[in-house]
Each structure stands twice: as structure tokens, then as C-alpha cells.
């Protein structure tokens, strides 16, 4: 029998592809052969993994270009069509003993893939790229329906704050993962998928999570079968660009080298956040108003939604030219580990959250949708390493609010101290003898047979 061969399937989104490809990189380092499957549109954008053990494969979603602009459409198609396509890939690789898959590792959001693996007699692993708290929320859907918090389609029936365990985030019913997707049809689709996935993952041989036991003790106590193996970024080469859709602009690191220690506000909002013109203007003016140097990663175009460039306030670029740098894509792990970074103004995606606390960087939270509100509560309520923003009556975070929050988080050294404490906890867990290290080691041994 040849080397262990793993089939890996992510959800087609930046925040899901990155951690799963990081896991692929870890497995490849241990001699595991990986076939990594993506949609054509995602496959063509992935930066080269530079590993001979990882074979990137693409399949078509069958969509026209205009259909891909519909929010969530790619994910819906992926969820519906992937089981049949995965089954075909498994069959094609079963001809040769050397190519035969020993395991299927798929995004937890693709629960039907676990069912396909079982049908084909192959071991299966559900991979959660988000916080374990997100999974606990899904597990509690039936109880919340029974208690009248949501109806059978996931719509909140009352405004309520729920905390499933003392060290878990405060979850507001209007901010549940499927509710704040901003589009009703997408809300129903995500809710139904979450309900189905909760049943499907029960058949998985392993459910692993890109998190840390000591960051989420309450969540893991309520989901004892979920195994924390994170942060995966600690298990690969520093600054590895696995899974990113854009080439990094590393010139910003040279700029950071010329800034004072702990002086720079780093602002980046992931690949899906869309600002209204009013909010974009206030964000720009707020960064200017801080009077501090800042590095702003600002997407020039959102290829998923078709939203193009937004105009900066008149004269803004000239006024901030001596202390502000705006780029399209930065090597975030290297940026957050740079000594000049003071705080991270973020959308609170789980990857960004883990990268920030892994580097001892305090945060300012501007979540946009999905699980980002859960992560904000961890940051501000549980770990207390950052602050939220207050919106005005029109739902806008004003420039003065941005300035005041930056001043507040940088003016109180307790935020930095707590962030450094979390960094130590994460380092200990990812180091030899730590919980995540041992879990990941045991998982790799299981893959190797």
C-alpha cells in the first residue's frame, strides 16, 4: 500500500480555504499526499502552495459569470453538487491502490460530504475553520425552536441575549450566524444547511477545529467530541501564503520598519465586507482623525459582489500621505507580528481573530456578518482584549467614535497585557506537550495509519 492519500474539500470562500490549506500543508510535511479540490473560480486564484505533496484540483460550478454575483450562489451550488462530484473523484482514484483515498477531510459546512465518504467506505473528518462556539450555536437550534427564541426557519421571535456557558460569547438573537447574512433567502439556506450539518457530522470519524482549548473552554465542554488542533498557522512556516486569493504586497513591511514601535493602527476587513459610501467615508476620516500612522488593507474591488471602487474623501490621500499607507493585500501574519503594530481594526473573521491574539495584538471590532459577531463577543466580553464600536441612529460608526475607541484601547495598557497573556496561552498549546500540539500529532498519526 502506498502513502496515505487524503481528499480535502473546503467551502468556496477565502476564510475557509486558508485554514484547510494550512492543514494540508501540515499533513504534506508529514509525507501525506493531499488532493485539494476547489471550484474553478477559486482554484485559479490560489497562490501556489509550493508543496509537491499537495495536488490542487478544480471542478466547474456550471454557473454563468452573472450568476456568481448573486450572494451565496456559489456556496449553494457547491453544497448541492459536490456530493456527486466527490463520489466521482473517489471512484476515479480507487482504480490504483497508490492513488486510493484513505480519508476525506471536508469543511464542516459540507456535512453531506461525510455521508458520501461513509457510503464509499472511506474514513471522514469534519473540519471546523471557525470558533467551536459556532458549532455549539448550531447544536442548540432545536432547543431554541422549542423555547420560542426562533421559528422553524431560524427567524428570531424575540430579541434575546444567550450565553450557553460562562466562558462562551454573548449571542444576540438578531446576530445569529444565519440571521445577519443580510439577505432573507440566504438566511434560510444557511439555516437549513446548519441543521443538516449538525446531523451529518455525527457520522464523521473526527471533528477537528482550528481553535484552542484554553480560548474556548466553555464551548469545548459542550462539544466534547470536537478536537481543537489550532492555531494551524503556528504549525506552518511563518508568513506562509497558503490559500490566499491575492498576491501579497510585501512593500508594506518596509514601510512598517520605519514606524515607531507599537504606533501603527492596522485596518483590514477580510474578503467579503462591503461598506456603504457613508461608512467608508467615516472610516477613512476616522483613521485620519486618530493622528496615528495606519496601514489600511482596502480591497480595490470585490469580485464576489461586483462592488467596485469607492471614493476617498476629497483631499484625504494628500493629507495622510506622510503617515498612512493603503494597500490592496498585505501579508497579514507578518504584519501582525511586526513590532510597529499597535492594534488591529478588524471585521473579526476567525482567521484574523486568531492571528491577532496569536501575536498579542489588541483589537477594535467591526463585524460584518455570519460568525463575526460571535468572535467580537469573545474579543470584547470574554477575553477583554479589544473594544466594540457604537453606531449612531443611522447605523453608522462615526469618525469621532473610531478615533475615541482607538485612543481608548491604546491608552489603557491592560488591553495589551491581556493580549500578551493570550499569546502565551496559544504558544503553550501549540508547542510540544501542549493540548493542540498533542491533538494535532495524534490526528496526523491516525491519518498515517
Percent with pLDDT over 70 in the chain: 85
DSSP character string of 263-322: -EEEEE-TTT----HHHHHHHHHHHHHT-S-EEEE--S-BTTTTB---PPPTTHHHHTTT
CB 364 within 8 A of CB 405: yes
Q: What's residue 213's pLDDT? A: 96
392 half-sphere exposure, CB direction, 13 A CA radius: 11
- Evaluate if residue 50 carries a pLDDT over 50: yes
pTM of the model: 0.90
User: Which whole number is the average pLDDT over 180-205?
Assistant: 76
Looking at domain 5-240+430-448, its CATH superfamily turns out to be Glycogen Phosphorylase B; (3.40.50.2000)
Q: What's residue 247's pLDDT? A: 65
Does domain 251-426 match CATH 3.40.50.2000? Answer: yes
Enumerate the domain spans of the chain: 5-240+430-448, 251-426
CA dist., res. 90 & res. 235, Å (int): 28
- Give the three-class secondary structure for 16: helix
Highest mean pLDDT: which of 35-39, 41-45, 177-181, 417-421? 417-421
Q: What's residue 305's pLDDT? A: 36
User: Which whole number is the average pLDDT over 342-346?
Assistant: 97
Q: How do beta strands 294-297 and 171-172 pair?
A: unpaired
Q: What's residue 303's pLDDT? A: 37
CA dist., res. 124 & res. 447, Å (int): 10
CATH topology match: 5-240+430-448 vs 251-426: yes
CB 106 within 8 A of CB 9: yes
Average pLDDT of the chain is: 86
Amino acid at each position: 500500500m502506498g502513502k496515505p492519500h487524503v481528499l480535502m474539500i473546503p467551502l468556496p470562500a477565502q476564510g475557509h480555504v486558508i485554514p484547510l490549506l494550512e492543514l494540508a500543508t501540515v499533513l504534506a510535511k508529514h509525507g501525506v499526499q493531499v488532493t485539494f479540490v476547489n471550484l474553478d473560480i477559486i482554484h485559479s486564484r490560489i497562490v501556489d502552495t509550493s508543496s509537491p505533496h499537495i495536488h490542487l484540483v478544480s471542478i466547474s460550478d456550471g454557473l454563468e459569470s452573472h450568476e456568481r454575483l448573486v450572494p451565496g450562489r456559489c456556496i449553494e451550488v457547491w453544497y448541492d453538487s459536490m456530493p456527486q462530484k466527490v463520489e466521482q473523484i473517489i471512484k476515479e482514484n480507487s482504480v490504483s491502490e497508490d492513488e486510493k483515498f484513505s480519508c476525506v477531510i471536508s469543511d464542516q459546512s459540507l456535512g453531506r460530504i461525510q455521508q458520501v465518504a461513509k457510503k464509499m467506505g472511506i474514513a471522514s473528518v469534519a473540519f471546523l475553520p471557525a470558533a467551536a462556539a459556532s458549532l455549539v450555536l448550531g447544536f442548540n437550534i432545536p432547543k431554541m425552536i422549542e423555547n420560542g427564541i426562533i421559528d422553524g426557519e431560524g427567524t428570531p421571535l424575540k430579541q434575546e441575549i444567550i450565553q450557553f456557558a460562562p466562558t462562551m460569547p454573548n449571542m444576540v438573537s438578531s446576530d445569529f450566524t444565519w440571521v445577519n447574512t443580510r439577505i432573507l433567502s440566504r438566511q434560510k439556506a444557511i439555516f437549513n444547511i446548519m441543521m443538516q450539518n449538525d446531523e451529518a457530522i455525527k457520522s464523521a470519524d473526527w471533528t477537528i477545529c482550528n481553535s484552542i482549548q484554553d480560548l474556548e473552554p466553555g464551548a469545548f465542554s459542550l462539544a466534547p467530541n470536537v478536537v481543537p488542533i489550532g492555531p494551524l498557522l503556528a504549525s506552518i512556516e511563518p508568513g506562509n501564503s497558503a490559500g490566499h486569493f491575492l498576491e501579497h504586497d510585501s512593500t508594506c513591511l518596509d514601510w512598517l520598519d520605519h514606524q515607531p514601535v507599537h504606533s501603527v493602527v492596522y485596518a483590514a476587513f477580510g474578503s467579503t465586507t462591503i461598506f456603504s459610501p457613508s461608512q467608508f467615508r467615516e472610516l477613512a476620516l476616522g483613521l485620519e482623525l486618530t493622528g496615528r500612522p495606519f496601514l489600511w488593507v482596502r480591497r480595490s474591488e470585490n469580485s464576489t459582489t461586483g462592488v467596485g471602487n469607492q471614493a476617498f474623501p476629497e483631499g484625504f490621500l494628500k493629507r495622510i500621505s506622510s503617515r498612512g499607507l493603503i494597500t490592496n493585500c498585505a501579508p497579514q501574519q507578518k504584519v501582525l507580528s511586526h513590532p510597529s503594530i499597535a492594534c488591529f481594526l478588524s471585521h473579526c473573521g476567525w482567521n484574523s481573530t486568531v492571528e491577532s491574539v496569536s501575536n498579542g495584538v489588541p483589537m477594535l471590532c467591526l463585524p460584518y456578518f455570519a460568525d463575526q459577531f460571535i468572535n467580537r463577543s469573545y474579543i470584547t466580553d470574554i477575553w477583554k482584549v479589544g473594544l466594540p464600536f457604537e453606531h449612531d441612529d443611522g447605523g453608522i460608526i462615526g469618525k469621532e467614535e473610531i478615533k475615541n475607541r482607538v485612543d481608548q484601547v491604546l491608552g489603557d495598557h491592560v488591553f495589551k497585557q491581556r493580549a500578551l497573556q493570550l499569546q502565551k496561552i496559544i504558544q503553550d498549546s501549540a508547542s510540544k506537550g501542549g493540548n493542540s500540539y498533542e491533538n494535532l500529532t495524534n490526528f496526523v498519526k491516525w491519518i498515517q495509519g
